[in-house]
Structure 1
Amino acid sequence: MPPEVRQDHPVGSALRFATELVAWVATPWALWPYSVPLAVLSPVVLIGLPTLFATPGDKRHVIVAVPGFVTILLVLLQLVAAVAAAWAAWSAVAGVAIALLAAVTVAFELPRWRWLLSRRG
């Protein structure tokens, strides 16, 4: 019998993806003036870690199974990167907008996170 698959709320999933996109763009932008290698490496880490590590049932294809709290930490990494990089790379208005996006994303993620905390990987 296949493992139970968590159905994301479509709005929560879209918000999470939007925040990830911001992190993937803003983080290299913010790091570029300080370290070109880190700027190039940052999207590899931000995209690669969640691709490699996943909680069974949360994604269809799991390469390396991890407990739910690891998936939550990876989402938090994306959120923090998006907010911090937006503040560092762009205007204060953009920083506030991305911080609000991240806060709304967290609100929609809470049911998924509760479910993830029940998963052992």
Structure 2
Amino acid sequence: MVESPNRTGQGRAASGLRFAIELIAWITTPWALAGHSALLAVLSVVVLIGLPTVFATPGDKQQILVPVPGWVTIALVVLQVVAAVISTWVLLPTWIAVLVQVLAVLTVIAELPRWRWLWRAGGGPIR
């Protein structure tokens, strides 16, 4: 199986952008949920950090605990992006939320080659 762009030099920029958006989601989502429910805040950490740590598509990461089709990995990244955007709009000043939204768009654009590879590794065509 050919390696994912995630494991080549081509994926460096996408990995950096993805990590930035993940970090924002990890920080802002529990914070945004804490006012409603401590349990939801803790659950968000488990979902946003735990699921991508446990589940991965073969060929996309060096070590995989539980192999999943590519579409699952794509869904986990989309979840991180959506969580980061929504949480910043809920919590932070508008100008920061706009910057995070721009970062989210850039992340999705940079992720497209990886997502195409992931889709072929267990999904359908992304053009």
The bucket for the TM-score relative to the shorter chain is: over 0.9
Q: Which runs of 4+ in 1 moved over 6 A?
A: none
Matching residue's letter, 1:4: V
Match of residue 30 from structure 1: 32
Q: TM-score, normalised by structure 1?
A: 0.93
Matching residue's letter, 2:69: P
Match of residue 79 from structure 1: 81
Report how far residue 59 of structure 1 moved. Answer: 0.6
Matching residue's letter, 2:66: V
Identity of aligned residues (%): 55
Number of equivalenced pairs: 119
SS in structure 1 of the partner of residue 35 of structure 2: coil
Contact 2:58 2:64 in 1 (8 A): yes
5+ residue gaps, structure 2, are none
Report how far residue 7 of structure 1 moved. Answer: 3.2
5+ residue gaps, structure 1, are none
Alignment of 1:71-110 (within 5 A): 71-110=73-112
Matching residue's letter, 1:36: A
Spell out, residue by residue over 1:78-121, the C-alpha distance to the aligned partner (whole angstroms, 9 max, x if none): 00000000111111111111110000000000011001111039
